[in-house]
Amino acid sequence: MLTGNNRRLKTVFDELEAGLGCGAQFRVLLQLALHPDEAFTAYGLVRATGLRTPDVNEQLGRLVELGWAERQGSSPAMYRLRLENEVVQLIRGFLLELKRPEPSNQKQPRQW
């Protein structure tokens, strides 16, 4: 678990904060997590998330550094979630649980 300046993160919670970020940062992880069989270019993630290219590139770098995503190839580089990572498995399971429709006596299913 490292940060941008190669400082060790103290706990799994530090890693979660670095990887999940907030708001816009979370959209990149969500797109990768909900489509684990697909590889995305940075441009594809820009289009899918509505974020600016620098924001997507920054988050992809963070996810690769944490070992949550992997970069494949170079022209153009493709990114996908590393499903063998235990933290990624837990986060993806959590997101899929949130995505499940609620019982019919509850509110409408969440939209993603």
Task: Indicate the DSSP class of residue 71.
Answer: E
In a domain, 31, yes or no: yes
Q: Is residue 85 part of a domain?
A: yes
Mean pLDDT of 62-78: 93
Structural domain count of the chain: 1
**Mean pLDDT on 36-46:** 95
Q: Is residue 99 part of a domain?
A: no
Give the span between the Cα atoms of 10 and 49, in whole angstroms.
30
In a domain? residue 62: yes
Task: Give phi and psi for 97, each to the nearest 5.
Answer: -65, -40
Question: Quick one: pLDDT at residue 97?
Answer: 82
How far from 107 is each of 95, 103, 110, 111, CA to CA, in Å?
18, 8, 8, 11
- β-bridge mates for residue 78, sequence order: 72
**Structural domain containing residue 59:** 12-89
Place of tokens 């963070």: 62
The verdict on pTM exceeding 0.75 is: no
**Does residue 20 sit within a domain?**
yes
Mean pLDDT across the chain, nearest whole number? Answer: 81
Comparing CA positions, the residue from 48, 80, 41 lying closest to residue 64 is: 80
Distance, in Å, from the CA atom of 80 to the CA atom of 36, rounded to the nearest integer, reads: 7
What per-residue confidence (pLDDT) applies to 22? 67
* CATH number assigned to the domain comprising residue 18: 1.10.10.10
Q: Answer with the residue of higher pLDDT: 102 or 78.
A: 78
3-state secondary structure of 78: strand
- pLDDT tops 90 at residue 95: no
Residue 107 counted as domain residue: no
Q: Is residue 30 part of a domain?
A: yes
The candidate with the shortest Cα–Cα distance to 16, out of 24, 6, 26, is 26
Mean pLDDT of 43-67: 94
| Domain annotation covers residue 101 | no
